[in-house]
């Protein structure tokens, strides 16, 4: 068979449902092969959007999302989404076309060395130089994408794609990638927990990846240990669990730092270093730490665990729950902070000032969604409010570009989320800056029939940069811009556009959109002076405890 046919059959063998991307001259044979397969090709309007779709597909399904581009600019346009999956450890397979092998040793039209270019943002990548190599390379690509997990890349040159081969897909064997912790380390962990007076749990993205939230909550509830999550770990402990005290992720001292300040033991469960640097909560390296993860701890002078349970998270948490006997409880000071942050959202539920307070917007969104509906947050000032305040009740229901923190993530991500979970409501929260970076994917959403809601936090500026500039210099520069008419823009794509004119209008319009389906874009003018006010409030509160 033709090599491109073999390649696609190998994708089918891996259970691939969708390939997101843009075709090119160097992928003509691959596209022809896809057209005769069970795989649905989703044409996007930019390769970055395709990569973000594959990224979120991987997060939600725990299977590699696949994106496709041609050579040169197509491949470089994929890079941001690939890097996002790499840093947030989302399983993703990027496939790129390439010029014929005869051109790769010299200067040629659109040719760059894509394999070398992507080397530092993938866990593994290879060029296919013989059609007979395809079954092994594709199988290894998917195996590594799941095992690491993260982004991997494979390149198929156009001349290889048309060659004939007698090879067939490798039989897909399922191997366990999980190991079990050392029992001696378990004994140390149990002793540390039993001896501690004010332990604190920090749960991260690894809990979501390994689908260990249920066992984590059993551990928390059994030992009565207060727990916080990273932004990527939101939902692994339900917000309404009395032992949950909030989320961390800001690169500054905020309200939860007090929780770390008083803790005599920090139990890190599935926390990736990129999520929240230990230098922010353990700057002098004095904290006792238990590391529970499927990989060894990152070498860091602020993160030197007393013991490490390296292996399957569910099993390690189960064994800790089984072996620990003491019950701890939430210190009064931390309980006070938890209540203050909950009130920060609730106290604004009837605030009718305009422009709308970000707390009011998030309250209205949360109040209209079910517990397992999905919110996708773009990057900007709104992300900080989502990370801090938005209640999450189930794992994988709040998606954030965290490690790379890339603007333009939310709209493509929402499209993928709706493909994976058509039964759930999906809301994308975006800034006006981030929305414009991938607004073209509204056409993709409309064409493939996805129902979703986009809520634009509109302040006609790069608000989070203004926040940081004001904090550092007491003035801001280079952050203002003008916006198009978002309602007319939405309508030009054939979707619903709504301009919110008052604070109490959003909740009724949002409910109408959720009940009637379709694609909706809400333009909400937001009051980001609350950014500075909350920062001041938290500093006062921190200093007072």
CATH of the domain at 469: 3.40.50.970
Residue 225 lies in a domain: yes
Same domain, 329 and 353: no
Integer Cα distance of 361 and 294 in angstroms: 38
Classify the phi-psi angles of 287: left when phi > 0, otherwise alpha if psi is within -120 to 50, otherwise beta.
beta
Rounded to the nearest 10 degrees, what angle do helices 3-13 and 28-35 cross at? 50
Residues forming beta bridges with residue 228, ordered by sequence position: 202
Residue 341 lies in a domain: no
Average pLDDT, the chain: 92
Residue 459 lies in a domain: yes
pLDDT of 149 > 70? The answer is yes
| Token output for 202 | 């920090």
- Can you list the positions of beta strands (E) in 227-345? 227-230, 244-248, 265-269, 289-293, 307-310
| Token output for 125 | 């990548």
Q: Are 96 and 25 in contact (CB under 8 A)?
A: no
| Token output for 378 | 């773009």
What is the 8-class DSSP label of residue 332?
H
Backbone angles phi, psi at 314, to 5 degrees: -60, -45
Residue 175 lies in a domain: no
Q: How many domains does the chain have?
A: 3
327 closest CA partner among 185, 198, 189, 186:
198
Backbone angles phi, psi at 84, to 5 degrees: -60, -45
Instruction: Write the burial class of residue 474 (CB in 10 Å: 0-12 exposed, 13-18 middle, 19+ buried).
Output: exposed
Residue 48 lies in a domain: yes
Same domain, 453 and 498: yes
Choosing from 335, 368, 383, the residue where a domain stops is: 335
Residue 486: which pLDDT band, with cuts at 50, 70 and 90?
A: very high
Contacts with 379 (C-beta within 8 Å, 6 or more apart), sequence order = 400, 401, 405, 406, 407, 409, 431, 434
* pLDDT tens digit sequence for 318-337: 999 999 988 888 777 777 77
pLDDT of 543 > 70? The answer is no
* pLDDT tens digit sequence for 20-54: 999 999 999 999 999 999 999 999 999 999 999 99
Q: Are 380 and 431 in contact (CB under 8 A)?
A: yes
Same domain, 466 and 417: yes
138 closest CA partner among 123, 156, 122, 121:
156
Integer Cα distance of 218 and 190 in angstroms: 16
Residue 228 lies in a domain: yes
Q: Any idea of the CA torsion for 415, 521, 343, 503, to the nearest 10 degrees? A: -170
* pLDDT tens digit sequence for 291-315: 999 999 988 999 999 999 999 999 9
378 closest CA partner among 444, 454, 440:
454
* pLDDT tens digit sequence for 258-276: 678 889 999 999 999 999 9
Same domain, 97 and 237: no
Mean pLDDT of 401-424: 97
Same domain, 133 and 187: no
Mean pLDDT of 534-544: 54
Sheet of strand 18-21, all strands in order from the earlier edge strand to the far edge: 40-43, 18-21, 65-69, 92-98, 151-157, 124-127
pLDDT of residue 482: 94
Integer Cα distance of 131 and 10 in angstroms: 12
Same domain, 374 and 511: yes
Mean pLDDT of 124-136: 96
Same domain, 84 and 61: yes
Residue 445: which pLDDT band, with cuts at 50, 70 and 90?
A: very high
Backbone angles phi, psi at 485, to 5 degrees: -75, 105
What is the 8-class DSSP label of residue 526?
B
* pLDDT tens digit sequence for 364-387: 999 999 999 999 999 998 898 899
| Token output for 222 | 């059994």
What is the 8-class DSSP label of residue 233?
G
pTM of the complete model: 0.94
What is the 8-class DSSP label of residue 173?
-
Alpha-carbon dihedral sign for residues 483, 487, 491, 493: positive
pLDDT of 361 > 50? The answer is yes
- Domain with 80 in it: 3-161
Same domain, 154 and 222: no
* pLDDT tens digit sequence for 507-527: 999 999 999 999 999 999 999
Residue 382 lies in a domain: yes
Same domain, 363 and 445: yes
Same domain, 285 and 368: no
Residue 376 lies in a domain: yes
Same domain, 89 and 151: yes
Residue 544: which pLDDT band, with cuts at 50, 70 and 90?
A: very low
Mean pLDDT of 183-200: 94
């Amino acid at each position: 068979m033709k090599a491109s046919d073999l390649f696609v059959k190998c994708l089918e063998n891996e259970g691939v449902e969708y390939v997101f991307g843009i075709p090119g001259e160097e992928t003509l044979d691959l596209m022809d092969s896809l057209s005769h397969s069970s795989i649905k090709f989703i044409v996007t309007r930019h390769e970055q959007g395709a990569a973000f779709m594959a990224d979120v597909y991987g997060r939600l399904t725990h299977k590699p999302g696949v994106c496709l581009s041609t050579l040169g600019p197509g491949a470089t346009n994929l890079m941001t989404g690939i890097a996002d999956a790499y840093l947030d450890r989302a399983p993703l397979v990027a496939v790129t076309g390439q010029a014929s092998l005869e051109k790769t040793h010299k200067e040629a039209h659109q040719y760059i060395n894509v394999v070398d270019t992507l080397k530092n943002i993938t866990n593994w990548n290879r060029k296919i130089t013989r059609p007979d190599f395809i079954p092994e390379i594709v199988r290894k690509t998917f195996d590594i994408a799941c095992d690491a997990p993260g982004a991997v890349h494979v390149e198929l040159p156009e001349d290889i794609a048309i060659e004939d081969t007698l090879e067939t897909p490798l039989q897909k064997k399922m191997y366990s990638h999980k190991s079990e912790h050392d029992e001696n380390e378990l004994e140390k962990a149990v002793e540390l927990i039993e001896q501690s007076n004010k332990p604190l749990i920090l749960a991260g993205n690894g809990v979501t990846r390994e689908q260990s939230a249920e066992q984590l909550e059993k551990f928390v509830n059994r030992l009565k240990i207060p727990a916080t999550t990273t932004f990527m770990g939101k939902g692994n402990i339900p917000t309404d669990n009395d032992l949950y005290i909030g989320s961390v992720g800001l690169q500054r001292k905020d309200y939860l730092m007090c929780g770390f300040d008083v803790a005599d033991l920090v139990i890190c469960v599935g926390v990736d270093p990129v999520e929240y640097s230990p230098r922010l909560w353990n700057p002098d390296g004095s904290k006792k730490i238990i590391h529970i993860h499927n990989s060894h701890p990152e070498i860091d002078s602020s993160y030197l665990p007393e013991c490490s349970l390296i292996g399957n998270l569910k099993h390690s948490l189960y064994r800790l729950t089984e072996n620990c006997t003491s019950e701890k409880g939430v210190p009064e000071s931390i309980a006070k902070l938890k209540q203050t942050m909950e009130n920060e959202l609730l106290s604004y539920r009837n605030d009718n000032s305009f422009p709308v307070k970000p707390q009011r917007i998030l309250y209205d969104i949360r109040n209209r969604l079910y517990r397992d509906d999905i919110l996708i947050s773009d990057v900007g000032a709104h992300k900080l409010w989502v990370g801090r305040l938005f209640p999450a009740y189930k794992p994988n229901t709040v998606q954030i570009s965290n490690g790379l923190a890339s603007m333009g993530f939310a709209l493509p991500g929402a499209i993928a989320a709706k493909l994976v979970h058509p039964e759930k409501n999906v809301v994308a929260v975006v800034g006006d800056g981030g929305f414009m970076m991938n607004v073209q994917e509204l056409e993709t959403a409309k064409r493939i029939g996805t129902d979703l809601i986009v809520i634009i936090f509109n302040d006609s500026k790069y608000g989070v940069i203004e926040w940081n500039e004001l904090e550092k210099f007491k003035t801001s520069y280079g952050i203002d811009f003008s916006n198009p008419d978002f309602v007319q823009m939405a309508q030009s794509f054939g979707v619903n556009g709504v301009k919110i004119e008052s604070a109490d209008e959003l909740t009724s319009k949002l409910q109408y959109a959720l009940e009637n389906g379709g694609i909706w874009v809400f333009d909400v003018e937001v009051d980001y002076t609350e950014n500075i006010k909350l920062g001041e409030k938290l500093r006062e509160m921190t200093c007072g405890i």
